[in-house]
Chains A and B, each alone.
Chain A
Amino acid sequence: MKSLRLSLIVYLLGLLLTCIVSFSLYLHHQSAQRVSAIFDKSGRMLARSTEDAEHLLQGRYQVMDQMLRANLDEALLLKAQTLASHLVRRFEFGRDILVFRLLGGHQSVHQAVLGMPGLPAVPIVGQEAVRWWTQARVIQLATLDEIDEGLLGSPRRSAPAEEFYQVSSEEELILLRSPHLGSNILPLDRKTRQKMKLFQYEFSNVTVGGRHLRLVTLKAPITRMLLIFPERRRGGGSSSNSHRPPRSSLVPVDRDIVQRGLVPTVFVQYARSVADIEETLAELRADIENVRDQLLREQEQTRLRLEEDAQAALASMRTTLVLLAVAVVAAMVVGSVVIIRRGLAPIEHIARAVSQVSEKDFQLKLAPEEVPQELAPIVARLREVLALLAAAFQREKQAVADISHELRTPLAALLATIQVSLKKMRTAEEYRQTLGQCAEIGEQLRGLMERLLLLARLDAGTAIVYPQLVDVPELAEQCLNMVRPLAHDKDLHFHFERNGVSTVFTDPEKLREILNNLLHNAIQYNRPGGRVDLELRRKEGALVIEVRDTGIGIPPEARPHLFERFFRADPSRQSDVIHAGLGLAIVKGYLDLLGGTIAVESTVGQGSTFRIELPVDGSDAPRTDASS
């Protein structure tokens, strides 16, 4: 047996569980997505910040690199220029010693190799442009030792191996060079030599003797110094030797000539090793690498920590969700049990009320306000059924009482008759009388039993119709004859109308029983001196039999019950035991069996009419009529 409450709880909990699980899964999914999005974003941000830091470091490195190199270049250029100007100064200072007059034709270039003891020969370039020169000038540059390195802005001893200079003529003669260059030469290719203009300089990276060097090449004029000479000479002319030709005689070289390249020039080169810069940069690079590594490590750590945090947060949320779900489910179990109990309370109430219905009263002890609207139809129907049941029960009880009554009275008579007879010795005649009386009572009992059995058979549907051709008027006559003595007792008169009805096809015994009962009633309930009419007629293929009396009539309230068993319109029993309130019930049962109907018309105090209609087979009727 299924429990309404249990199934409701199960369905409700199933629904709730489904809701909770889906909601939790959805929530979890959403949170996981969000957490992973946040995680990704932070990872990206972290990576970018690392990248930025890296860029910054890289930038710093580049700035440093550029700065160092720019500084170097500047220093180199400065040194080269200083050297160049120093060369001029050297020349100036040593003019008395080193200036030769050369005789020669103009418009040609003369070369001479001058030498001094201990000094390398220095080629001098003369130029055609100075055509009116009567004397050439030979410039001998100082030896290496005579170059004051201090002039170059750096202590000579401190970095002798790191800085190099070299001065060469346009003819690729090396006029001057750092002693520690050894056999190495600072390179100066021909193309550069020809391309470069005066005062122009150029930086390049070279490798000399396995060293990486930064080299600046500067094209500087030597003749520029000539511009200085006259002024100098003029300024100190008074103190100079008188045997020397006056300086004023020298033709000054104007600037224009110099700019046009018509002055002798030299290439001053100054180089410096970039090893220290590269070392510094390498250190910087290493630092940057370190920092970068550290940053990456930190980024990885942060990422891991973030991931851990995210996982922990998710796990905690999962736990919370599970706990929440468990709590909700528990609350729901309790809640649904309570709710369902409350909800089903009216049903229980009704069930209790129904269980208290007894066969005594068939009352559903339930106030209307206790019945929920939904169950009202059921309860109403239940009440109806109970009412029907109570009525049926009452009828059954009544029937049992009636049957017992009908059986008990003749039985009491039988016993009393026998016991009276047995009280003392009787004559044979007396015994004979007694036995006759007993037989009479026995007959009554038998008749009653047969009627009850007949009704039982009708109820069980085992009564069988034996139809045959029946001469209805003759049968009616027989019935009238049977009841005639009774009618005579009451001084009743019979009227019989046949109306040409002859034979019909029906069950004669049942028809006889019907007529007997109706006639009996007509006599029983008639007034003395009244009349009984029996009329036969045909109507649209039906046989109509009417029994009319002039009796007491049937009150309207009794008519619906007329065909119920043991029912009597007169609440007090009539003395006729034969009928026992079963006559009309049997009439009705037989008519149902034969397919007929019965109708009653009655006026209280004037009489009743019982009208029977029996269907007659249309094909039979004319034939039977004709045969009659």
Chain B
Amino acid sequence: MKAFNIYMIGVGGQGIGMLSEILMRASDHAGHQTIGVDTHGLAQRGGVVTSHLRLGEGVYTPLISQGEADLVVGLERHEALRGINGYLKHGGTLIYYNTVWQPLEVRLHIAEEVDEETISRQCRLNEAREIRVFSPHLKEARMQNIVVLAAIDKHALIPGVAADHYRQAMTDLMDGDTLKKNLTLFEKEGLVSNNS
């Protein structure tokens, strides 16, 4: 397969690390060559957390070049826009979980909250596909990543990676109640059509 770049972005505490680990292992199970890198360190304290994942042949560095992501995965609305600005390829795909964790400047009344239309406009400008995800009945914020995962699967956003690969990756990485809970959510979200 020719190189396919996935850029993930969210806020510390949203579970970017787990999502990126699942996508990487699922891609590995699908037979892709994979390389990736997460940002760690200070960013974990409510700052921006990103993860780069690169699939396919002839890929060397784990870091994606700006404007070269075939798929941008945002776990929060502001971060989705940051992801588009930095990394979304012209004609790529954005999928994002439509929740808002207000950045400091918004709370301090220095900046405006980013709205949905700004993101849609930016996707049109980049001739990119936009997939917006939200699960109204989800009680635990830390499982929003699985809702996004289910949507990535449903829309077949990663070439060659299928539901069984995601299930296998989740089984590799979790166990007990956590695994059961997340697999149940993955199956349930795969059926509903609350994505737009």
Q: Do A and B bind each other?
A: no
